[in-house]
Amino acid sequence: MRYAVLAVVLLDLVLLALTEVAWLTLRVGSVPLPVSVLVAAVTTPLAVRIVDRCFPATWLVFVPLATWLVVVVGFGFWSPAGTGTFPPDWRSLLLVAAGLFPGVWVASRPVRPRESAVAHR
């Protein structure tokens, strides 16, 4: 069951990474609105935490981050149409940083064992 959870998390991260890069060029009028940066900052640490709960204290905790990074960089720099979809400004770097730094921070923190409900009574 743990490997099924890992597969679902990785598939989810691939789809999220594709969506985040595609929506990175979103603008409201002439103002860039990188909402996908916020999505990356929230979802990659959650994915890392889920994998860490399934496989505590293993190197597999970095697999979601590596998967997300490969898809974002790959889709950002290369696409079937030729050049990638990364905008040539600060949003690209912000997306990569917002996805990686919170995820690495969560991966570096040990998972605390869950306390049972009986212990609090």
Q: What percent of the chain has pLDDT over 70?
A: 87
Euclidean distance between CA atoms 60 and 97, whole angstroms:
21
Which of these, 80, 48, 41, lies nearest to 67 by C-alpha position? 48
Q: Is pLDDT at 112 greater than 70 in this prediction?
A: no
Euclidean distance between CA atoms 117 and 41, whole angstroms:
31
Domain positions in the chain are 2-109
Residue 114: the pLDDT is: 57
Q: Within 10 Å of residue 102's Cβ, how many Cβ atoms? A: 19
Q: Is pLDDT at 14 greater than 60 in this prediction?
A: yes
Q: Is pLDDT at 25 greater than 70 in this prediction?
A: yes
Q: Which stretch of 31-35, 83-87, 97-101, 116-120 has the lowest confidence by average pLDDT?
A: 116-120
SS (H, E, C) 39-101: HHHHHHHHHHHHHHHHCCCCHHHHHHHHHHHHHHHHHHHEECCEECCCCCCHHHHHHHHHHHH
Q: Is pLDDT at 80 greater than 80 in this prediction?
A: no
The average pLDDT across 15-22 equals 92
The average pLDDT across 32-59 equals 91
Residue 102: the pLDDT is: 94
